[in-house]
C-alpha cells in the first residue's frame, strides 16, 4: 500500500486513498444518519473517486457502532436540500469503479439503500439490515423498493419492507443481500480484504439496477405481491404506506428501473405529507425524549446486579420474568411455601409456553430459570440492589412489606413498589429511608408490555430515579417519569375516558358500538373488551374503594356493578360485557347485557339517544385529551410527550396517531375545546375544560411547543 492521501471532503465524510482503494468513511455520530452534509460528502467522495485515475475500487464504511441508521429523520417535514438521497444512491451505482460497502452495526433504511446501490457487499458479525421506513409511515425512498427485489427477490424484499424488522449477517448472506460475511471486527480490514479479492479477479462494476427478475421467477413474484396486497387490510388497517410499498414493488415487474424510481419518489413524497408520518416520527422521538429526565441528568444510576421481587402472583411473576430475561438474578419472596411454589410455577409457566411455541430453546429456559431463587424469609433480600414489591393492592399490606424491606435490605438498595394507584409518598414516609423508595409501575403481562411508569415521590434520591431508568433500558422497556397522584399518568387518564364511555353507554350507545368505534379509531380493543380481558372485579374493587370520596355531583353509572354482582367478570368467568363460550377469547355480543343496560337506563330515567361513531369518538377522545392536559398542567407528566408515550405503550393508543396530545394538536386545540364546552352544556360537572387546554387554545399554542421547551 502507498501512503494514504487525504481529500478535502466534508468533515462527516472523509476519503483517503490507500493505493488503488478510495476509502470513504462516514463519521456522523451518533448513528451516521444521512443528513444533508453526509449526502453532499458522499456525492463528492464518489465524484473524486471517479476523477482520480489511480483509484480502482471505492470502499464505503461507517465509523462507530453503526454503518448508517438511515435518512436523518429530523429533516422530514422540512424543505428538502440537494442532493436527495436517491440521487446519491444513483451516483454511487453509476460510479465507474466498483463500489464496496463493508457493514458493521446497523444499515437501516437509507443506510441499506446505500448498501444496495453499491456493487459489492460484505457484512461483519454484528451487522443488522432493515428497511424500517414502514414504521415511520414511509416507504424506502432512495431506490430501495426497486433495488431490493432485484437483489433478493420480490417476496423477501416485500417482507423486509412490510415488516421493517432487522435481519442479521447470516440471513442477509442467505438471501443474497450481501455477498459475503467476514468474521472479523474491523470493517476496514474486512472491506480491504474483500477489495483485494475483487481487484485480483478484476471484478467489474455491477449495478443492481441492471438485474432483472428472471422470467421463471415472475409468477411466484406476482403471487407474493398479490398475497401482500390481500393481507394489507387485515395487517395494516388504517395505514397508508404499506399499500404504497406494494405498488412500488409491483413496478419492478411492470416498469423500467427509472420509471419505478419515479413512482417510488412520488409515493415517498405522498407519505411524507401524511399525518401518519408525522405521528409515527413524533412517537419515535418521544420515546427517546421520555428517558431524558432531570434526575437522570443529575445523577448516575446505582449498581444493579441482583434484584428481589416480593409476590409471586401474575404481576410479580411477570416482573421476575422481565428481570430474568435481561439476565438479572432474581430472589422472589412469598409469605409461605405454597405461595412461593405457585410463584415459581407462574414463572416457569411463562417459559414453558415459550418453549412449546418454539420461541425459546429448553437450554435457554433452564439458564434463565437458574437465575431465579425463592425464599419465604425476607432475609434473603439482604444483598439485592433493588427490590420490587408486587403484593396485593392495599396500603396496609404494602406498608407491612416495606417495613420488612426497611429491616433487611442493605443500605442503598432501591425499594420499589409496583402499585398502580396508591400514594407512594405515604408509603415512603413509613420507612426510615424514604430517599430509596420509588414507584415502578409495570403493566400486565409485565414481561411483554413495554411501558414502565417510573413514579417519583417527593423524597426520592436522584440516583434512585436514574436507577429506575437504567433498569428500564436493561429490560428494553420504555420508561416514562410520572408524579404521584391517584393512577399516575396512565390509569388516571384511563379512569376519565372510561367514565366518558360509561356516560355514552348510559345515554344510549351500546358497549359493542363503543368498542367498535374505538377499534375503528385504531385501538386494538375497546374499553369494554379491555375490562373483560383485565377482569371486571378489579375495577369493581376500586369503585367500591373510591365510593366514599366520589364527587356527589358526578353522575354515577352502576351498569358495570350490575354485571359484577352477577359474577360476570369477563373472560375468566366466561362472560362479562361479552359472552365467551367454552373459554373462547373472542367475545360475542350478549343480549342479556343489553337488557341490563336498558333496565338501568330506565331506572335512571334516561331516554336513550342515538350516537354516531363520530359522536362516540369525539367524547371519548376529548375526555382523554382533557385529562391528559390536566396531568401535564399539574406536573404529573413532565411534558405532553410523556403522556403520549404512556398511552402508546400502555393503553393501545394507535401509534400512527402519535398519542392523545399529538393527536389533539393535529385536530386543533380550539376544536377539542369547543367540543368539551358543548358537552359541558349537558354535564358541566364532568366536562370541565383543563386550564392548560384553555390557555393553549386561547393563545394559538400547541402541546408540541411544550415538548420543545421542556426537553433537555
User: Least distance (Å) from ligand 3H9 to the CB of residue 79?
Assistant: 14
Does 63 bind ligand 3H9 (CB under 6 A)? Our answer is no
**Other residues' Cβ atoms within 10 Å of the Cβ of residue 52:** 16
> Of 485, 452, 444, whose CA–CA distance to 386 is shortest?
452
Q: Which residue out of 18, 75, 113, 389 is catalytically annotated?
A: 113
Q: Which stretch binds ligand 3H9 (CB under 6 A): 63-71, 456-464, 567-575, 597-605?
A: 63-71
Q: Which stretch binds ligand 3H9 (CB under 6 A): 107-115, 152-160, 305-313, 351-359?
A: 107-115
Per-residue x/- mask for ligand 3H9, residues 11 to 30, rule CB under 6 A? -------------------x
Does 57 bind ligand 3H9 (CB under 6 A)? Our answer is no
**Vertex 608: Cα angle to 573 and 571 (nearest 5):** 10
Question: For 247, phi and psi rounded to 5 degrees?
Answer: -60, -45
Per-residue x/- mask for ligand 3H9, residues 232 to 271, rule CB under 6 A? ----------------------------------------
User: Least distance (Å) from ligand 3H9 to the CB of residue 68?
Assistant: 9
User: Least distance (Å) from ligand 3H9 to the CB of residue 295?
Assistant: 17
Distance CA 86, CA 265 (A): 8
From 59, 85, 190, 239, residue interacting with ligand 3H9 (rule: CB under 6 A): 85
DSSP output for 488-501 = TTHHHHHHHHHHHH
CB 658 within 8 A of CB 278: yes
From 110, 137, 187, 654, residue interacting with ligand 3H9 (rule: CB under 6 A): 110
Distance CA 578, CA 583 (A): 12
**Beta strands at 330-333 and 167-168: parallel, antiparallel or unpaired:** unpaired
* Between 88 and 628, CB nearer to ligand 3H9: 88
List the interface residues with ligand 3H9, window 286-345 (CB under 6 A). 288
Q: How many CA atoms lie within 13 A of 312 on its CB side?
A: 26
Task: Tell me whether residue 3 is one of the annotated catalytic residues.
Answer: no
> Of 461, 451, 455, 323, whose CA–CA distance to 384 is shortest?
323
72-101: string of b/e by CB count within 10 Å (b at 16+)? bbebbeeeeeebbbbebbbbbbebebbbbb
Per-residue x/- mask for ligand 3H9, residues 121 to 140, rule CB under 6 A? -----------xx--x-x-x
Q: Which residue out of 133, 155, 287, 393 is catalytically annotated?
A: 133
Question: Residue 682 to residues 512, 553, 555, 679: CA-CA distances in angstroms?
Answer: 24, 13, 12, 6
* Between 71 and 388, CB nearer to ligand 3H9: 71
User: Least distance (Å) from ligand 3H9 to the CB of residue 129?
Assistant: 12
State the DSSP code for 566: T
Distance CA 397, CA 39 (A): 60
Task: Tell me whether residue 133 is one of the annotated catalytic residues.
Answer: yes
User: Least distance (Å) from ligand 3H9 to the CB of residue 102?
Assistant: 18
Does 177 bind ligand 3H9 (CB under 6 A)? Our answer is no
CB 415 within 8 A of CB 409: yes
From 10, 24, 26, 31, residue interacting with ligand 3H9 (rule: CB under 6 A): 31
CB 130 within 8 A of CB 165: yes
* 3-class secondary structure per residue, 321-362: HHHHHCCCCEEEECCCHHHHHHHHHHHHHHHHHHHHCCCCCH
Does 72 bind ligand 3H9 (CB under 6 A)? Our answer is yes
Q: Where are the beta strands (DSSP E) in 158-240?
A: 167-168, 180-181
Does 74 bind ligand 3H9 (CB under 6 A)? Our answer is yes
List the interface residues with ligand 3H9, window 138-157 (CB under 6 A). 138, 140-142, 144
CB 481 within 8 A of CB 642: yes
Does 109 bind ligand 3H9 (CB under 6 A)? Our answer is yes
Does 659 bind ligand 3H9 (CB under 6 A)? Our answer is no
* Between 145 and 510, CB nearer to ligand 3H9: 145
Distance CA 652, CA 271 (A): 23
User: Least distance (Å) from ligand 3H9 to the CB of residue 137?
Assistant: 10
Does 70 bind ligand 3H9 (CB under 6 A)? Our answer is yes
What residues are annotated to the active site? Answer: 113, 133
Site residues (vs ligand 3H9, CB under 6 A): 30-31, 33, 66, 69-74, 85, 106, 108-110, 113, 132-133, 136, 138, 140-142, 144, 285, 288
Amino acid at each position: 500500500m502507498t501512503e494514504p492521501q487525504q481529500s478535502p471532503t466534508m468533515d462527516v465524510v472523509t476519503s483517503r486513498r490507500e493505493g488503488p482503494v478510495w476509502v470513504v468513511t462516514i463519521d456522523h455520530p451518533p448513528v451516521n444518519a444521512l443528513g444533508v452534509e453526509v449526502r453532499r460528502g458522499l456525492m463528492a467522495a464518489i465524484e473524486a473517486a471517479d476523477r482520480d485515475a489511480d483509484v480502482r475500487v471505492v470502499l464505503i464504511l461507517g465509523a462507530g457502532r453503526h454503518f448508517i441508521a438511515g435518512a436523518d429523520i429530523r429533516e422530514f417535514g422540512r424543505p428538502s436540500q440537494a442532493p436527495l438521497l436517491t440521487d446519491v444512491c444513483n451516483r454511487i451505482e453509476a460510479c465507474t469503479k466498483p463500489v464496496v460497502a463493508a457493514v458493521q452495526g446497523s444499515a437501516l433504511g437509507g443506510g441499506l439503500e446505500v448498501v444496495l446501490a453499491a456493487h459489492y457487499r460484505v457484512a461483519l458479525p454484528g451487522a443488522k439490515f432493515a428497511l424500517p421506513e414502514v414504521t415511520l409511515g414511509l416507504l424506502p425512498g432512495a431506490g430501495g423498493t426497486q433495488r431490493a427485489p432485484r437483489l433478493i427477490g420480490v417476496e423477501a424484499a416485500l417482507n423486509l419492507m412490510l415488516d421493517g424488522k432487522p435481519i442479521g449477517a447470516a440471513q442477509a448472506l442467505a438471501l443474497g443481500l450481501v455477498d459475503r460475511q467476514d468474521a472479523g471486527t474491523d470493517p476496514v480490514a474486512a472491506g480491504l480484504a474483500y477489495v483485494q479479492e475483487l481487484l485480483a479477479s478484476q471484478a467489474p462494476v455491477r449495478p443492481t439496477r441492471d438485474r432483472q427478475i428472471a422470467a421463471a421467477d415472475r409468477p411466484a413474484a406476482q403471487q407474493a405481491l398479490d398475497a401482500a396486497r390481500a393481507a394489507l387490510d387485515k395487517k395494516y388497517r388504517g395505514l397508508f404506506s404499506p399499500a404504497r410499498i406494494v405498488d412500488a414493488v409491483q413496478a419492478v415487474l411492470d416498469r423500467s428501473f427509472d420509471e419505478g424510481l419515479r413512482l417510488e419518489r412520488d409515493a415517498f413524497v405522498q407519505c411524507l405529507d401524511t399525518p401518519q408520518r408525522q405521528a409515527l416520527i413524533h412517537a419515535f422521538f418521544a420515546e427517546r425524549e421520555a428517558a431524558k429526565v432531570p434526575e437522570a441528568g443529575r445523577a448516575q444510576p446505582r449498581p444493579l446486579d441482583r434484584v428481589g421481587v416480593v409476590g409471586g402472583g401474575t404481576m410479580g411473576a411477570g416482573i421476575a420474568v422481565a428481570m430474568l430475561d435481561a439476565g438479572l438474578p432474581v430472589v422472589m419472596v412469598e409469605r409461605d411455601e405454597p405461595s412461593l411454589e405457585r410463584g415459581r410455577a407462574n414463572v416457569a409457566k411463562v417459559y414453558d409456553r415459550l418453549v412449546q411455541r418454539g420461541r425459546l430453546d429448553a437450554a435457554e429456559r433452564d439458564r434463565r430459570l437458574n437465575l431465579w431463587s425463592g425464599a419465604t424469609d425476607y432475609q434473603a433480600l439482604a444483598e439485592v440492589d433493588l427490590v420490587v414489591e408486587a403484593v396485593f393492592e392495599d396500603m396496609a399490606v404494602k406498608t407491612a412489606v416495606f417495613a420488612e424491606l426497611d429491616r433487611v435490605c442493605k443500605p442503598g438498595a432501591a425499594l420499589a413498589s409496583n402499585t398502580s394507584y396508591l400514594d407512594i409518598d405515604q408509603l415512603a414516609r413509613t420507612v426510615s429511608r424514604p430517599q430509596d423508595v420509588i414507584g415502578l409501575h409495570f403493566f400486565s403481562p409485565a414481561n411483554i408490555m413495554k411501558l414502565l411508569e417510573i413514579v417519583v415521590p417527593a423524597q426520592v434520591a436522584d440516583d434512585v430515579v436514574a436507577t429506575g431508568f437504567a433498569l428500564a433500558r436493561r429490560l428494553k422497556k420504555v420508561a416514562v417519569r410520572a408524579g404521584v397522584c391517584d393512577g399516575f399518568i396512565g390509569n388516571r387518564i384511563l379512569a376519565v375516558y372510561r367514565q366518558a364511555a360509561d356516560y355514552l353507554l348510559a345515554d344510549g350507545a351500546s358497549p359493542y358500538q363503543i368498542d367498535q368505534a374505538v377499534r375503528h379509531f385504531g385501538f386494538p380493543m375497546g374499553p369494554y373488551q379491555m375490562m373483560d380481558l383485565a377482569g371486571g372485579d378489579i375495577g369493581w374493587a376500586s369503585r367500591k374503594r373510591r365510593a366514599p370520596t366520589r364527587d356527589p355531583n358526578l353522575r354515577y353509572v352502576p351498569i358495570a356493578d350490575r354485571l359484577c354482582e352477577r359474577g360476570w367478570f369477563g373472560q375468566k368467568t366466561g362472560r362479562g360485557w361479552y359472552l365467551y363460550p367454552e373459554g373462547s377469547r373472542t367475545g360475542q355480543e350478549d343480549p342479556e347485557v343489553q337488557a341490563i343496560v336498558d333496565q338501568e337506563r330506565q331506572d335512571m330515567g334516561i331516554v336513550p339517544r342515538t350516537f354516531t361513531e363520530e359522536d362516540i369518538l369525539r367524547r371519548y377522545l376529548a375526555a382523554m385529551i382533557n385529562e391528559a392536559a390536566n396531568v401535564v398542567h399539574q406536573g404529573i407528566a413532565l411534558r405532553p410527550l410523556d403522556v403520549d408515550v404512556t398511552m402508546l405503550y400502555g393503553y393501545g393508543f394507535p401509534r400512527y396517531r402519535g398519542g392523545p396530545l399529538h393527536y389533539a394538536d393535529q385536530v386543533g386545540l380550539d376544536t377539542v375545546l369547543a367540543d368539551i364546552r358543548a358537552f359541558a352544556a349537558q354535564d358541566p360537572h364532568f366536562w370541565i375544560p383543563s386550564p392548560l387546554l384553555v390557555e393553549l387554545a386561547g393563545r394559538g399554542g400547541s402541546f408540541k411547543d411544550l415538548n420543545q421547551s421542556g426537553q433537555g
